[in-house]
């Protein structure tokens, strides 16, 4: 499978949270899967970390690399595609990641049930 993981999926995996389903945990560990994280997730974490809303390791990009998770850059095509999405969700980071998953042919792994309304390959765990 080719997966794009939502920000909270990464954070739950890092802290070994019970909120991360066993199926999702297995998918992240399966070396046959291509697991990606949007650069927008790192941006989101950096913002929330800087204002004290979130604790995350200083070396997060390096930790992600050690987890064999590839960073998906945000392209102009990804950014522009957000404008074509229906207004079903207000979070700009989530909307961008949905657009990225659609353009790149990835399954978007999230816990946010509202994102399934966009259709396409969205796996709500």
Taking only the tens place, the pLDDT of each residue in 26-50 is 999 999 999 999 999 999 999 999 9
Q: What mean pLDDT is reported for the chain?
A: 94
Q: Is pLDDT at 19 greater than 90 in this prediction?
A: yes
Give the Cα separation of 5 and 40 in Å (integer).
11
Output the pLDDT for position 61: 95
Number of neighbouring beta carbons within 10 Å of residue 81: 17
Region at 6 (left for phi over 0; alpha for psi -120 to 50; beta for the rest)? beta
Two structure tokens written together for 76: 């102009």
CATH architecture of 2-124: 3-Layer(aba) Sandwich (3.40)
Tell me the domain boundaries of the chain: 2-124
| Residue, of 119 and 61, whose pLDDT is higher | 61
Query: What pTM does this model have?
Result: 0.93
- Which helix or strand (DSSP H or E) is residue 14 part of? helix 7-14
């Amino acid at each position: 499978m080719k997966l794009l993981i939502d920000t909270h999926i990464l954070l739950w995996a890092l802290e070994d949270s019970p909120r991360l389903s066993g199926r999702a945990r297995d998918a992240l560990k399966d070396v046959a899967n291509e697991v990606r994280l949007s650069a927008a997730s790192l941006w989101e974490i950096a913002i929330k970390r800087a204002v004290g809303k979130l604790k995350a390791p200083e070396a997060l990009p390096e930790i992600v690399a050690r987890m064999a998770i590839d960073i998906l850059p945000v392209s102009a095509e990804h950014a522009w595609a957000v404008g074509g999405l229906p207004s079903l969700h207000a979070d700009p980071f989530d909307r961008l990641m949905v657009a990225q998953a659609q353009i790149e042919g990835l399954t978007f792994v999230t816990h946010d049930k509202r994102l399934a309304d966009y259709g396409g390959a969205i796996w709500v765990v």
